[in-house]
Structure 1
Amino acid sequence: MSTNNPFSNIELEKVQSYWNARPCNVRHSPSPVGTQQYFDEVEARKYYVEPHIPLFAEFEKWRGKKVLEIGCGLGTDTINFARAGAQVTAVDLSTESLALAKKRAEVFGLNNITFYQANAEQLSDYVPVERYDLVYSFGVIHHTPHPERVIEQIHKYMDKDSIFKIMVYYRTSWKVFWMQLKYGKKPGETLDELIARYSEAETGCPVTYSYTTETVKDFLKGFKIIDTRIDHIFPYSIPEYRNYQYKMVWYFSCLPHSLFRWMEQRWGWHLCVTARKA
């Protein structure tokens, strides 16, 4: 995270408005929104493009355990924790995302999920403080103006045996290199601001922090890191992808799969960290 923080004065309402207007993965299916077919297609597309997510989340491992998910979005991972038999508490800032996640739980008849609309920077003002076996957040905390406040809050919901799994964006990734090559920084713009602008499918995200394997250690103060993994380069041509076709861009299609995976594990966009309280 940059010491000259360009995001600290951004109002949380701006972040909420951005995600209300475009809940993450909401266009992953052409079927009617809110139907079982829609949710099934969203899940299939998400895990096809990001197959490392189920491996990182380890859904089945949390059967009979308590899981707190910070930033549930449409509830794809939420539902899979619940299906595996976890007792899930799911939180999101976006009212639109949360409405769809609740609908999803209703469609699949899952009653082992409790939902909260909440600002994670003040999580304990919304969600009763109790101990969880797993606190999980995939691609969310780096979108709030003060992510270090969320980390402080998370400590309240863990003890020495709890696990924290978090994905944040990796600063020295292929995607950041591509952003700089394709767009470049505007006059006076920082790299952080460039990354924020193009970090999501829809441009103009108000806040996006990125981390290296070193800076994430400082970010996760009070935690002992157990495992750090880098993964995920998006290889598909965007025009075809928007039409639900999976055509790899030419320079990735030329690579053997083993070489592509080697690249993902060094310059992927997702920095996946597993930690315990120190």
Structure 2
Amino acid sequence: MRLSQFFEQTPVQHVQNYWNSRPCNIRHSTKPVGSREYFDEVEARKHFVEPHIPGFAEFDRWQGKKVLEIGSGIGTAMINFARSGAQVTAVDLSDKSLELAKQRAQVYGLEDQISFYQANAEELSQYVPIDTYDLVYSFGVIHHTPHPERVIDQIRQYVKPGSTVKIMVYYRYSWKVLWILLTYGKGQFWRLNELVATYSEAQEGCPVTYIYSKPEAKALLNGFEIVDMQVDHIFPYYIPDYKQYKYTKEWYFRWMPQPLFRWLEQHFGWHLCITARVPE
């Protein structure tokens, strides 16, 4: 069965319900939710575990520019773009996530630089006024919607020649996929689509999770000029300890030399980070 056939019948409402039940990264801090201390800790933890994000996003590069973020979640990237001087349009399917993102903007005094829209990204133009942006950014988002190709088609309406598109999707040939297959699937490769969706996120049971090879990602972005495509990120920590805010590495990563671990991340990482541009 093709991956699209496995997921394309999933109602978007199921995806919304899932992310409303536990917005991404909401448990990255034990401080009072919505406080400045909470948001500071959420950001610090996210960038500690995923240190490649600032380099990929290039936050400072977009000073004075217009940024459209599709799937802003609770606003970690959003606030960094705004803090760097960008004018940001933040879009998310989850109203619970947007509530926290709006609160975050107020806490940091950046609400004048950010516009918020609750929207299904597959139908973006029905919710977000058509405009052109210097950057369209979507990190770990469009692989969770039933029809990712529709999101890309919507993005085409918000860019101009020279615009940049930065997208992260999950990588098919990653350590994470192998780990899910062996740990939860006991090698039942014919259940891979179901298994990856179920165990791709911190909270089990994500309704939709696509995974992409590099050629599949290029095909998804047909018409855009691929500037860079990098694989990165392996989560090395023992999950029960991590949930208690302890950073204990799995035994098989604990004694691995850092250069070897980085080699693994850059070849078998979970994140396929793509930078593309609109041809002149």
Coarse TM-score class (shorter-chain normalised): over 0.9
Question: Secondary structure of the residue that 2:249 maps to in structure 1?
Answer: coil
Q: Is the 8 A contact 1:49 1:234 kept in 2?
A: yes
**Aligned residue type for 2:18:** Y
Q: CA deviation at 1:2?
A: 3.3
Distance 1:185 1:149 in 2: 34
Unaligned runs of 5+ in 2: none
Q: Return 5+ residue gaps in structure 1 as ranges.
A: none
Deviation at 1:190, TM superposition (A): 3.4
Tell me what 2:176 maps to.
175
Tell me the distance in 2 between the aligned counterparts of 1:114 and 1:186.
Answer: 46
Equivalent residue number for residue 142 of structure 1: 143
Match of 2:40 in 1: 40
Aligned AA for 1:55?
G
1:104-156 per-residue CA deviation (whole Å, 9 max, x = no partner) reads: 00111102000000010000111111110000000000000011000000001
Q: Shift of residue 277 of structure 1?
A: 2.3
Give SS of 1:233's match: coil
CA contact (8 A) 2:3 2:193 kept: no
The answer to which of 188-197 and 90-99 deviates more is 188-197
- Map residues 231-270 of structure 1 onto 2, 5 A cutoff: 231-270=232-271
Name the SS of the counterpart of 2:214 in structure 1. coil
Q: Is 1:164 aligned with 2:158?
A: no
Counterpart position of 2:76: 76
Q: Distance in 1 between matches of 2:187 and 2:176?
A: 18
SS for the counterpart of 2:105 is: helix
Conservation of the 8 A alpha-carbon contact between 2:3 and 2:210: no
Aligned partners of 1:20 and 1:95 also within 8 Å: yes
8 Å CA contact 1:228–1:273 kept in 2: the answer is: yes
CA contact (8 A) 1:170 1:211 kept: yes
Task: List per-residue Cα deviations over 1:252-273 (Å, max 9, x = no partner).
Answer: 0110111100000000000000
CA contact (8 A) 2:185 2:191 kept: no
Partner of 1:2: 2
For residues 63-92 of structure 1, the C-alpha deviation after alignment (integer angstroms, 9 at most, x for no partner) is: 000000000001000000000000000000
Q: Which residue of 2 aligns with 1:272?
A: 273
Residue in structure 1 matched with residue 107 of structure 2 by the alignment: 107
Contact 1:225 1:273 in 2 (8 A): yes
Flag the 1:99–1:186 CA change in 2: closer, same or farther, 3 A: farther
Change (3 A) 1:266 1:106: same
- How many Å apart are 1:276 and its aligned residue? 1.3
CA distance in 2, matches of 1:178, 1:102: 36
Q: Which amino acid aligns with 1:48?
A: F
Distance 1:214 1:187, change over 3 A: closer
Partner amino acid, structure 1, of 2:106: E
Aligned to 1:18: 18
TM-score (norm 1): 0.97
TM-score by length of 2: 0.97
Closer, same or farther in 2 for the Cα pair 1:8/1:104, shift >3 Å? same
- Indicate the RMSD between aligned Cα atoms, in angstroms: 1.5
> Quick one: which amino acid aligns to residue 77 of structure 2?
D
* Residues 36, 210 of structure 1: alpha-carbon distance in 2 compared, 3 angstrom cutoff: same
Gap change, CA 1:46 and 1:3, over 3 Å in 2: closer
Q: Cα distance, 1:159 vs. partner?
A: 1.1
CA distance in structure 1 between the aligned counterparts of 2:76 and 2:119, rounded to whole angstroms: 18
Q: Stretches of 4+ moved more than 4 A in 1?
A: 185-189
Matches within 5 A, 1:215-234: 215-234=216-235
Question: What secondary structure sits across from 2:6 in the alignment?
Answer: coil
The answer (yes or no) to whether the contact 1:165–1:274 under 8 Å persists in 2 is: yes
Deviation, structure 1 residue 222: 1.5
